[in-house]
Amino acid sequence: MTSSTVATPAVNAGDPKQPKAYVSDRARHENRLGQRLVAPAIVVMLIVTAFPILRALYLSLYNYSLTAPADREFIGLSNYVTALTDSLFWRDIGVTVLYMVVTVAIELVIGFAFALVMHRVIFARGLIRTSILIPYGIITVVSGFAWQFAFTYQNGFVNGWLPFIADDFNWFGSPPPAIIAIMVSEIWKTTPFMSLLLLAGLAQVSEDMVEAAKVDGATWWQRMWKVVLPNMKAAIMVAVLFRALDAYRIFDNIFVMTAGAQGTESISFLTYRQSIEQFQLGMGSALAVLLFLSVLLVAWLIVKMFKVDLAQARGE
């Protein structure tokens, strides 16, 4: 008696004719339910965000000032050309990028240290976590005024605490120290938010992997560099993305502490000055559109830099 085998054709993973993965009726109904639940929020967000964006695009094509609304004139892309060829625009872009890079980098380091403390502490955990998160619960305008007072040489305490700084040193008298003062206020206020996001990432790291690396003789630094950080890559990307976009749109600390003086003006503050203070809605709308596009560019660069597959990180 002879036995015969039937050869089965190899399955080509890239074959477009290959049948799709089976989706159960329950999963299909859950997806439809999720779409129905999200639909009202999407409609509201489109109304709230799409109309202002389209209105800004429309106004950016006009020479339009509220002081002379009857003299509105269509000028096409002239507002964009004027902004992109103005040295003030590029200087404010540079200052904005400086705010973003420095503050996010420092917040990432300090926030990760705070996240480790909140994750590993075994006593008074609630009290310690609450204490670390207190600055984030304070309104930014309030913290801005507090740090402005702290950096004033007449009544502030910063000059007295720093032995290498003279008592009569004026932090708001020149661009570099004024920018540093704004960065300190921003870092103090938003580092707890960074630590909160990183704490969520630490909670996703398997303790079994960390213990296995410890048994294999890995040092603390090796466990951190080879086990913890790679498994937190998605959480780190989300934390950096959120804070970078927020820092790129910095406005309130600048408004409170320096009002844009001494070269501390950001691109958001420049847009505010053109639209609100000078009533130039055409140029202000063009700057708002450029700000929106630059925010999208920053988000795209951060996502590309980390190269994280969020679906894979979620286990999908």
CATH number at residue 223: 1.10.3720.10
Q: Answer positive or negative: Cα dihedral of 303, 307, 313, 316.
A: positive
- Give yes or no: residues 52 and 120 share one domain: no
CA–CA distance, 316 with 310 (Å, rounded to integer): 9
- Give yes or no: residues 50 and 169 share one domain: no
CB 285 within 8 A of CB 227: no
pLDDT score at 52:
87
**Which tokens in the block code for residue 312?**
């894979």
Which contacts of 71-78 are long-range, i.e. CB under 8 A and separated by 24 or more positions? 72/282, 75/282
pLDDT along the chain (316 residues), means of 10: 44 52 76 89 87 90 87 90 93 95 95 87 77 88 93 88 88 92 94 90 83 82 84 89 93 92 91 91 93 93 81 53
pLDDT score at 315:
53
pLDDT score at 49:
85
Beta-bridge mates of residue 280: 65
- Give yes or no: residues 163 and 208 share one domain: yes
Q: What are the phi and psi torsion angles at 280 (to 5°)?
A: -90, 85
Q: What are the phi and psi torsion angles at 130 (to 5°)?
A: -65, -40
Grouping H, G, I as helix, E, B as strand and the rest as coil, residue 62 is strand
pLDDT score at 85:
93
Q: Model confidence over 224-271: pLDDT tens digits?
A: 888 888 888 888 999 999 999 999 999 999 999 999 888 899 999 999
pLDDT score at 101:
95
- Give yes or no: residues 177 and 37 share one domain: no
**Start-to-end C-alpha separation, the chain:** 49
CB 268 within 8 A of CB 93: no
Q: Taking the model in full, what pTM does it have?
A: 0.81
Question: Is 65 among the domain residues?
Answer: no
Question: Is 12 among the domain residues?
Answer: no
Q: What are the phi and psi torsion angles at 173 (to 5°)?
A: -95, -15
Q: Model confidence over 46-81: pLDDT tens digits?
A: 888 888 888 999 999 999 888 888 888 888 899 999
- Give yes or no: residues 55 and 129 share one domain: no
User: Domain span at residue 47?
Assistant: 25-59
Question: Is 228 among the domain residues?
Answer: yes
pLDDT score at 208:
82
Q: How many domains does the chain have?
A: 2
